[in-house]
């Protein structure tokens, strides 16, 4: 469900600041706040945001079983040539 809610400038600024601090979108923060507010009524526990450390740990946990051969297949110039690898643009 999409819900458009008008908030004042102060709330908008605070929402954006918190989202940036947690590395998520303002929509994610708003959804989290609403889930916490209605947790008792919807019968679900509120979702707690993952800290940056937990986020990276989850990524590392997901990658731990990847064989080294797979990493060796990755391009060495991936960051500098991202447009080539994602969109097929000519290499620079």
- Does 58 lie in the same domain as 28? no
Q: Residue 87 — very low, low, confident or very high, per pLDDT cuts 50/70/90?
A: very high
- Does 39 lie in the same domain as 57? no
pLDDT tens digits, residue range 1-30? Answer: 788 889 899 999 998 998 888 888 888 888
Domain-located, residue 92: no
- Does 6 lie in the same domain as 40? yes
Q: Considering the entire predicted model, what is its pTM?
A: 0.44
| Count of structural domains within the chain | 2
Residue 62's SS3 state is helix
Domain assignment of residue 78, given as a range: 52-87
Domain-located, residue 17: yes
What is the distance, to the nearest Å, from the Cα of residue 81 to the centroid of all Cα atoms in its chain? 23
pLDDT tens digits, residue range 40-86? Answer: 787 665 555 566 667 778 888 888 888 889 888 888 888 898 999 88
Q: What are phi and psi of 74, to 5 degrees?
A: -70, 145
Contact 31, 45 (CB under 8 A): no
* All residues at 6 or more sequence positions from 49 whose CB lies less than 8 Å from its CB, including other chains: 22, 24, 32
| Percentage of the residues of the chain whose pLDDT score is greater than 70 | 88
- Does 31 lie in the same domain as 71? no
- Does 83 lie in the same domain as 61? yes
């Amino acid at each position: 469900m999409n819900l458009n809610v008008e908030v004042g400038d102060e709330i908008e600024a605070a929402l954006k600041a918190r989202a940036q601090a947690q590395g998520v979108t303002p929509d994610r923060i708003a959804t989290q706040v609403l889930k916490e507010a209605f947790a008792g009524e919807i019968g679900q526990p509120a979702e707690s945001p993952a800290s940056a450390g937990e986020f990276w740990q989850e990524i590392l946990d997901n990658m731990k079983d990847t064989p080294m051969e797979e990493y060796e297949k990755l391009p060495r110039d991936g960051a500098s040539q991202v447009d080539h690898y994602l969109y097929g643009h000519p290499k620079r």
